[in-house]
């Protein structure tokens, strides 16, 4: 029986690496699959992992219909045994429904990989629909870590280094205004307090400066001096 599996996790937890490994394992067994992604960090039509591996992929546009893609492949006489879908948080709820239909009616396994919640801690609509429809939701076991060492469970967006909690749900790359948009994983405590690694460094710098001005040993300072 074909399955719709949603592998979820924060950024930096190795989702794309697992997606590539999954494709490899199935190909080794003589199965044929199609790989999809959307807005990958390496650019259009590429599925890349932070460990440096990458492969060609079909770029998912808003108009793409998974049912049509699989049906067209089969009409052309090419087998499709499974789909690997990365960055599914950017897929639409309708596309999530198409994936479920491909599983049920065409007997194709769908392995979906994505983030569940955005930088405001709200579910992405595509991820929400996949959670609702998936046969299994598997939370990835490679844990990303917050700068404090705790398990990172939340995604933060920074603009020019400062954490923001408002804005468009999907922003990838720098803005037209020339602002640098970044993402960082945090534990919930530090997400709530808007304390990123960058803001922590600034705190440490301030503390080190204050400590320098006092006739006390630096060891008396609770925060270690910044090594630059
Ligand atoms: Zn933390």
pLDDT band for 223, please (50, 70, 90 cuts): low
Range of the structural domain that residue 90 is part of: 4-142
**Cα-to-centroid distance, 12 and ligand 1 (Å):** 15
Cα–Cα distance for residue pair 100/110, rounded to 1 Å: 8
Structural domain count of the chain = 1
Mean pLDDT of the chain: 88
**Cα-to-centroid distance, 204 and ligand 1 (Å):** 15
> Does 88 reside within a domain?
yes
pLDDT band for 4, please (50, 70, 90 cuts): very high
CA atoms lying within 13 Å on the CB side of residue 33: 27
Tens digits of per-residue pLDDT, 157-176?
999 888 998 988 888 877 77
pLDDT band for 179, please (50, 70, 90 cuts): confident
Has 87 been annotated as catalytic? yes
> Does 203 reside within a domain?
no
- 108 token code pair: 């194709």
Cα–Cα distance for residue pair 88/97, rounded to 1 Å: 12
In this predicted structure, the answer to whether residue 119 has a pLDDT above a threshold of 80 is yes
User: Which pLDDT value is given to residue 161?
Assistant: 85
* DSSP state at residue 93: H
Say which of 87, 143, 168, 184 is annotated catalytic: 87
User: What is the value of pTM for the model shown?
Assistant: 0.80
Residue 148 — φ and ψ, nearest 5°? Answer: -80, -5
* Mean pLDDT for the stretch of residues 143-168: 89
In this predicted structure, the answer to whether residue 218 has a pLDDT above a threshold of 50 is no
> Does 191 reside within a domain?
no
- 150 token code pair: 């705790």
Count Cβ neighbours within 10 Å for each residue of 189-218 and write b for 16 or more, e otherwise.
Answer: ebbeeebbbbbeeeebeebbeebeeeeeee
> Does 212 reside within a domain?
no
Q: Coil, helix or strand for 156?
A: strand
**Cα-to-centroid distance, 192 and ligand 1 (Å):** 10
User: What residues contact residue 116 under an 8 Å CB cut-off, 6+ apart?
Assistant: 8, 89, 123, 124, 127, 131
**Cα-to-centroid distance, 214 and ligand 1 (Å):** 29
In this predicted structure, the answer to whether residue 219 has a pLDDT above a threshold of 60 is no
> Does 130 reside within a domain?
yes
**Cα-to-centroid distance, 151 and ligand 1 (Å):** 7
Give the CATH number for residue 72. 3.40.50.300
* Mean pLDDT for the stretch of residues 87-105: 98
> Does 180 reside within a domain?
no
Residue among 33, 22, 23 nearest 79 (CA): 33
> Does 41 reside within a domain?
yes
> Does 228 reside within a domain?
no
**Cα-to-centroid distance, 228 and ligand 1 (Å):** 22
User: What residues contact residue 69 under an 8 Å CB cut-off, 6+ apart?
Assistant: 34, 58
Count Cβ neighbours within 10 Å for each residue of 46-82 and write b for 16 or more, e otherwise.
Answer: ebbbeeeebbebbebeeebebeebbeeeeeeeeebbb
């Amino acid at each position: 029986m074909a399955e719709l599996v949603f592998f979820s996790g924060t950024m930096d937890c190795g989702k794309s690496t697992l997606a590539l490994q999954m494709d490899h394992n199935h190909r080794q067994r003589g199965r044929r699959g199609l790989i999809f992604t959307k807005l990958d960090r390496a650019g259009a039509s590429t599925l890349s992992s932070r460990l440096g591996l990458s492969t060609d992929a079909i770029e998912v546009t808003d108009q793409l219909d998974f049912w049509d893609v699989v049906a067209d492949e089969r009409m052309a006489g090419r087998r499709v045994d499974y789909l690997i879908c990365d960055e599914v948080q950017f897929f639409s709820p309708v596309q999530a429904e198409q994936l479920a239909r491909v599983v049920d009616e065409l007997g194709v396994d769908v392995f979906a990989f994505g983030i569940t919640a955005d930088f405001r801690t709200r579910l992405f609509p595509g991820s929400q629909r996949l959670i609702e429809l998936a046969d299994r939701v598997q939370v990835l076991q490679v844990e990303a870590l917050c700068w404090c060492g705790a398990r990172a469970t939340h995604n933060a967006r920074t603009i020019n280094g400062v954490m923001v909690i408002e804005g468009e749900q999907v922003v990838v790359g720098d803005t037209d205004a020339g602002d640098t948009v970044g993402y960082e994983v945090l534990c919930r405590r530090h997400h709530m307090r808007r304390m990123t690694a960058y803001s922590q460094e600034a705190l440490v710098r301030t503390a080190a400066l204050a400590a320098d001005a006092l006739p006390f040993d630096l060891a008396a300072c609770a925060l270690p001096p910044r090594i630059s």
